[in-house]
Chain A
Amino acid sequence: MTERDVYRLPRERLGALVARLERDYRVLGPAPRGDTYAWEELRPGDPVSLDYPTTMLPLRALLAPQREVLFTFRRGDDGEVAFDPPADERPLALLGVHGCDLTGLRVLRAFHDSGTRDRLVTNRLDRAFIVGLACWVPCLGEAFCRDMGSLDNEIPADLYAWDIGDVLLVKVLTNRGRDVLTEVTPMEAATAEEVVTLRRRLRVRLEAFPQHLKFAPERLPIALEAAEGDLLWDANADRCLSCGRCNLVCPTCTCFDVTDASPLDGRTGVRVRTWTGCQVTGFSRVAGGHDFRPGRAQQLRYRIFRKGKYMPERYGMVGCTGCGRCPHHCPTRISIREIFRQVGGTA
């Protein structure tokens, strides 16, 4: 790493950062919820979590929410319908985003840049102020973020922080990031001792994040293609519940369903999109009931192919960040990491 543009942010100045961001943004950070963590709104004075395990829901829940109104409508007395797009929102500031979720946002950006840009999502992405946060230990046992290049990923953060104790070392990645940091700190460069500490911790960190794959993710499309007819899809799909949790917790899934809702009189209403996914029962069914991707093995293969082959081919980025959420939250622990290992055995 380079220590250029790395500044000291004493821990006690975090509140000032929140207060500064709160002027222009709706500030969110990971907060304890039951026995886990979830992204919640932060007010000045609220504690900022710098040591939290990966949230169950991926960060895209804030940028392309689970349920989102596409438009509202009103039916006039003449029967004519008027439509209203959703109102503008306050931009988001996201405080403490792990590498896997940063990669997730990058993939989301690549997805929208390669096809139709979905302005509801890209506007949120464009306007969001993002503070990345380095991880020191894997959040989940199934994580393989190092293999997928997420562990060190700093893009698209405005500021990226390493927590090395009393002080956070903060790297400036955008002009917007510099402006904000300048307002909350005197922009002192990291001391030589702090830089050495950081370098040592980064070195030690590699032991905490062993490599799981014997091949680079760039080889996934070829490896998967070779395994298309493999029995491993059936073997894994035998214990698939078609519950869809893997899709819903994935930081790079983008599929949605579109439905209308309206009160009984039908005079007003909304058209909403709701998350769905290729593992959710009924996803590939058309009117009349024909299923174009019947069977759990085909569906599972489709999910893994989308992440490891179709997405890199179409958007230039592998669709797996290595966050480990899908195996961790799968009731029967179907593991994308193990499947990648299996298909890459000879790669």
Chain B
Amino acid sequence: MANPSPAPAPQALPKAAFFSFASCEGCQLQVLSIEDQLLTLLGAVEIVNFREAIDDRRDDYDIAFIEGSLVRPEDIEEIQQIRKRARILIAIGACACLGGVNAIRNKRTPAQLAREVYDGRQDGVFKTLSDASPVRSVVQVDYELRGCPIDRDELLETLRSLLAGTVPYVPPFAVCVQCTMRGTPCMLERGLPCVGSVARAGCEAICPAFGAPCEACRGVHDSPNFEALGEAFFRHGLPRYVAAEKLQLFNNYKEIREPWEKALPSPSIT
């Protein structure tokens, strides 16, 4: 009996390609570390472009996975080319989805950066765009796999959904949901600056489980209350601006920053 088989027929594997922009390439490493399911993955898609794993490069692909944020003028052209070729474009990781840590610099001018980072030297520093940007600020993104780095199981689950012909599930709620269910004592109660209550879940709250407060590497959830976040920090003896400092780490790209910036006092570092 014909049933919707989640795995496609073996003769026509969809082709997947991985591309890297400004990032640590840690998300690609996550893909490589799938281990026990890597063979199943390779039985489900043909990987035609993957710098961390294969030398061969081809430009015929169905699914493009994009890692990293866009920082150089030539990145814009390249991502537009990829978008034209790919049927499905998936941004992976905090850099590609949010701008990520690269966007911390967005409130500084290139001259300021050159002064602070390179001691004023301009030689050998490549030309950059005024903002480090998430992929969706330049081209249409079909799906986003959040996290710094991405979660292997979530990658497989997303692929499974796409190969079956439907959309992946993205949790709309706070990290606190998964954190509390795990039984992890609240980081705020321990005096640690945790922004899990405005952050998007999906990570199974792994950082707090190992004692590190959440930094919202998956962005914010569907109904964040930033005023209340400031209130929560204050009630736990943490200045409100610390909440802004924490959010600035991954969520500093202008459109993403705007809502929390309005609600929370400026971070001490800008």
State if A and B touch, Cβ cutoff 8 Å: yes
Chain A residues packing against B (C-beta within 8 Å): 33-36, 38, 56-57, 61, 66-67, 75, 78-81, 238-245, 248-249, 259, 261-266, 274-276, 280-282, 285, 296, 329, 331-333
Q: A264-B41, A264-B160, A296-B225 are in contact. Are A281 and B172 (CB under 8 A)?
A: yes
Say which residue of A57, A75, A241, A263 sits within 8 Å of B198 (CB atoms): A241
- Inter-chain residue pair count (beta carbon < 8 A): 131
B36 (CB) vs chain A CBs: closest residue = A263
**Assuming the A-B contacts A245-B176, A280-B177, A332-B232, are A33 and B3 also in contact, with contact meaning beta carbons closer than 8 angstroms in the complex?**
no
B222 at the interface (CB under 8 A from A): yes
Residues of B within 8 A of A80 (CB): 1, 3
List residues of chain A with CB within 8 A of the CB of B206. Answer: none
* CB pair B183 A241 closer than 8 Å: no
Known contacts A79-B2, A332-B235: A66-B228 contact under CB 8 Å: no
Size of B's binding interface in residues, CB under 8 A = 47
Within the complex, the shortest CB–CB distance from B44 to chain A, in Å, comes to: 6
Closest chain B residue to A55 by CB distance?
B183
If A57-B183, A241-B229 touch, whether A263 touches B221 (CB-CB below 8 Å) is no
Do the beta carbons of A332 and B231 come within 8 Å of each other? yes
Which B49-94 residues have a C-beta within 8 angstroms of A? none
- Tell me whether B192 is interfacial, beta carbon within 8 Å: no
B227 / chain A contacts, CB cutoff of 8 Å: 238-239
Which residues of chain A are within 8 angstroms of B164 by Cβ–Cβ distance? 266
Tell yes or no: B186 within 8 A of A by CB. Answer: yes
Closest to B225 in A: A241
Instruction: Using CB atoms and an 8 Å cutoff, list the residues of chain B in contact with chain A.
Output: 1-3, 5-7, 37, 40-41, 43-44, 156-157, 159-160, 163-164, 169, 171-174, 176-177, 180-183, 185-186, 188, 190, 196-198, 221-225, 227-229, 231-232, 235-236
**Contact of A329 (CB < 8 Å), options: B37, B186, B224:** B186
Q: Using Cβ atoms and an 8 Å threshold, which residues of chain B touch A241?
A: 174, 176, 197-198, 224-225, 228-229, 232
State whether A78 and B1 are in contact (beta carbons under 8 Å apart), knowing that A280-B177, A281-B173 are contacts in the complex.
Answer: yes
In the assembled complex, which residues on chain A have CB atoms less than 8 Å from the CB atom of B223? 242, 281, 296
CB closest chain-A residue, reference B189? A329
Q: Which 4 A-B pairs have the closest CB atoms?
A: A266-B6, A79-B3, A282-B172, A331-B232
A244 contacts which of B177, B182, B222 (Cβ < 8 Å)? B177
Tell me the nearest residue of chain A to B39, going by C-beta: A264
User: Could you tell me the distance in whole angstroms from the C-beta of B162 to the nearest C-beta in chain A?
Assistant: 11
Do residues B177 and A248 form an inter-chain contact, with CB atoms below 8 A? yes
Residues of chain A lying within 8 A (CB to CB) of residue B159: 264
Question: What residues of chain B lie closer than 8 Å to A296, measured between beta carbons?
Answer: 223, 225
Q: A243-B197, A262-B160, A264-B37 are in contact. Are A281 and B225 (CB under 8 A)?
A: no
How far does the alpha carbon of A332 sit from the alpha carbon of B222 in the complex, in Å?
A: 19
Q: Is the CB of B225 within 8 A of A244?
A: no
User: Beyond A241-B174, A241-B198, is A281–B7 a contact (Cβ under 8 Å)?
Assistant: no
Contact yes or no, B5 A67, CB < 8 A: no
Q: In the complex the two chains form, is B160's CB within 8 Å of A239's CB? A: no
Chain B residue nearest in CB terms to A260:
B169
Q: Are A244 and B173 in contact (CB under 8 A)?
A: yes
